[in-house]
A and B are shown apart, each in its own frame.
Chain A
């Protein structure tokens, strides 16, 4: 479902604050997919993603008027999602890599938790890509999300990420280069 015009959004958010569940449903149906895909880009685990997305819409339902219109509604919602992802990672004791790195070290083991059949199944499901994408710095994950899910131009992404178009191009270039290497390693199976 496409995103809603700003005037409609404001009306719906005001309705949610009055307890109108149909207004909530409409926003949920319009934005759930993007939030879920964004979270999956940031944290490639389905179970976690569902929990995080639930928390995002819970926050929206509890305080629908928190959106002031300073940014686009999508950016605002994804900002909440990013914070929820970080909260989740902190709970799990995982480090958060937000800064871009020119060169990433490709994991030499496809998946420490997975045996070969599991990896094969995951490959079929496209989970190899999710697995490799999760290792990217967050700014690169975000750039991929905007380019591939929202079909944003490099100028749009530069505006969203508050950087130059050159930086956006570099981020995506490095991200794709890393993904290619990581998936190749993944396909080779565990190194003995």
Chain B
């Protein structure tokens, strides 16, 4: 339909795009001027805001867990193989249950007994990373990609915690006075994918690969 373009019509047609912020600068300025000249039309903007808000607040009243459970049932995924998780540091208790630990412990204790208190033989120098962790070295210093994140000013701790948990990131430095943090990507996770997700986040102003030293933080040399 080609209606004659009057100011009223132009205003009405622009309203949805005025409230969603997608109007170009020229049309936006025209709308602002038109509203200044016709203040009674502000109620139309308000109404459109309400319509938009209503559209954006629509959500299911069924909990997500129930919806997903139903889908799993219908897809017969209850017996689906659990996908392999990304490699993560081996828990201490796994190290303890390893059959080789008896042999290592035997050698260490034997050395202590033979050499006496205060003397540690050569074999006590750790060579096995799992054993090193078991001995209290909690940092996983496997070289993993680091990322520097400049956080948006409105970010709160809860947002940060949620982001770190969702993307399985480990903070290695920061935040500094500029709202920057350095994180490490969990071993096995894709750094490009993590970067892409961070850059899509409304809480992140900038996410760029960081230099390894800063990202690795307190890893021993």
**CB within 8 Å of B: which residues of A?**
2-5, 7-8, 11, 15, 18-25, 28-29, 32-33, 36-37, 40-41, 46, 49-50, 53-54, 57-58, 61-62, 102, 126, 129, 144-145, 147-149, 151-154, 156, 166, 169-170, 172-174, 176-177, 179-180
Contact = CB atoms under 8 A, between A and B. Distances in A.
B51 A54 contact: no
B196 A8 contact: yes
B56 A154 contact: no
Contact of A8 (B58, B67, B81, B193): B193
A33 B12 contact: no
B97 interface: no
A49 B1 contact: no
Q: How large is the interface on B (under 10, 10 to 19, 20 to 34, 35 or more residues)?
A: 35 or more
Interface string B64-104: 10011011101101001111000000000000000000000
A186 B59 CA distance: 23
A70 to B, nearest CB: 21
Contacts, number: 122
B55 A148 contact: yes
Contact of A149 (B3, B48, B56, B64): B56
A145 B2 contact: no
Given A19-B80, A54-B70, A32 B20 contact: no
B64 A22 contact: no
B41 interface: no
A58 B56 contact: no
B177 interface: no
A39 to B, nearest CB: 9
B60 A50 contact: yes
B13 A172 contact: yes
A154 B3 CA distance: 17
Contacts of B51: 129, 144, 148, 176, 179
A154 B22 contact: yes
Contact of A36 (B3, B58, B77): B58
